Each structure stands twice: as C-alpha cells, then as structure tokens.
Amino acid sequence: MINETYTLSNGVKIPKLGLGTWFIDDDKAAQAVREAVKLGYRLIDTAQAYGNERGVGEGIRTCGVDRDQLFVTTKLAAEIKSYDEAVKAIDGSLKLMGLDYIDMIIIHSPQPWVNVNQSADRFFEGNLEAWRALEEAYKAGKLRAIGVSNFDEEDIDNLCNNGSVKPMVNQILAHIGNTPFGIIDFCKKKDILVEAYSPVAHGVILEDREVEAIAKKYDVSIAQLCIRYCLQLGLLPLPKTANPEHMKQNGDVDFVISDQDMKTLCALDNVHDYGQFGMFPVYGGKM
C-alpha cells in the first residue's frame, strides 16, 4: 500500500499513505524521516507550525533515496493571510528545509488558530492573498502542487471561483467515529483529493471496544483498521509516529474491510473529545 499512489488533478502522483510528523521534535524529525523512508514511506507531511521543518528537511536530504522519489508536504501557517507574508513564508520553508523545491504546500487553516470555531469570519480575502502567493510559487516551479487544510465548502469555493489554480488536496480531520462525509463528497466532486490527518483519532479510538472487536475479526490492530478505513473511503491517511515499529505496522494494511463492516464503521459518530489536543474544525456540521 505504501508504494501505491493517487493522481492529483494536475497529474502529479502522490503516495496513498504518508508519515505525519506533528509533535515530533525538530531534533528527532530527521531520524524519524530516515526510518520511515527505510521502511518504504515516500510521503512525509510537516508544517511551519510544527517547528520541525529543518529536521524533516535534513531527513529528506540524508535518507539515501533520490529526491524525486519522495513527496514532501508542508503547510503555510494559519495566521498568514497576506500575499507578502505568504511569499516570505514559502521561501522561508524552502530555505529552512534545504530543498530546491517542495512537492506541496497547503494553507493550514482558513482561519488563524485563535479564530477557529470562535468567529464567523472565514478570512476570504486573506486566503485569496495567501493562495495567490502559492499559485505563483507553483507556476514558478518551487512547488509541484498546492492545496488547503481544514477548509469547508465555502472556503474552497472562494479559491475556485476567484483563483487561477484549483486546490489539489484538502487535508482534514477524518477517522472512524468522526468522518465528515459532507466535505469529503464535496471535494471528490471537485476532483480534490482528501487527506486524513490523525486517522487514529489522536489515540482516543484505541479505547473503543466496538472498533476493537471489528479489528480482531481481521487480526489487525485498531490503528491498522483505522488506516485501512480511510484508504477504502478513497482518503489519504497520514498517521503520525516516530516509532519504527508503529511505522511498519501502519504500512501493513493490505487487508480488505468487508462492505458490512465499512457500513458499521461509517455509521459511528462517537469520537469528538480529543482532550489535550484542543480545538479542531467542524465542517458545517455535515457529518
């Protein structure tokens, strides 16, 4: 599964499964990337907000695999809502990571984090400004693809209707027990690939007995079931771990969940309390 790919709307291929690096410290990120690449991972996801772009870049440069065989994603900080700031941040990520190009940069959130779910302002003008900078970097060859994260329908329409390049991905919180089918279906109709961050619900779902019972049927872990669930929905899961054993297990998901079990899992709506992980976007209440 690690070796399989999706094709983005611009024809660029992207691995179906990647490594998320949220909460991996900068001084540990390079080794995590090297371990993941050794196990066959070719998609590495980071963000300016994670504070580990330098380490991820080092891992990419020193992993022993040709650069063109890897797909590197980072995210424009959610607070950046002007063209000039976005241009500076894009070039800053390239320099900090030590890369000639980045495969994809996405806007981390339509709203600055302090405004997420706290304000009706969707920052349409600011997102268009940031998007213009991404479009220019994409057309200049600094980026191979551009996209968004945590964007709802109206946020995506704003870019599609007023920009010159359509977003190629929308990275959202999606997992068993909290699957926003409304925005997923919307993106699919627009040929926008949906990436699923935190596919194991930040670990909260590991305590779910109903999900555990289904995982046991396939002789897999709950994490493997969660990752396979996303894949069978046509999503691109990005499980986060710095543990090589977990990386290996997360990539071993070549089993198939039955239609009946998928129906059961899709109907679950029971994981919304993420404790220490704080606020997360709600997609217009469309589950």
**Options 50, 138, 197, 283, the catalytic residue:** 50
Q: Which of 15, 16, 205, 21 is nearest to 97 (CA)?
A: 21
Task: Write the CB contacts of 120 (distance below 8 Å, at least 6 apart in sequence).
Answer: none
* 50 belongs to the catalytic site: yes
Angle at 32 between CA 28 and CA 37, to 5 degrees: 155
Q: Which of 210, 207, 204 is nearest to 275 (CA)?
A: 204
Cα dihedral 129, 67, 15, 48, rounded to 10, equals -40
d(CA 54, CA 27): 9
Structure tokens given for 55: 């380490």
In a 13 Å sphere around the CA of 204, the CA atoms on its Cβ side amount to 17
Under a CB-based contact definition with an 8 Å cutoff, are residues 158 and 138 in contact?
Answer: no
Residue the block writes with tokens 């690449």 = 37
Active site residues: 50
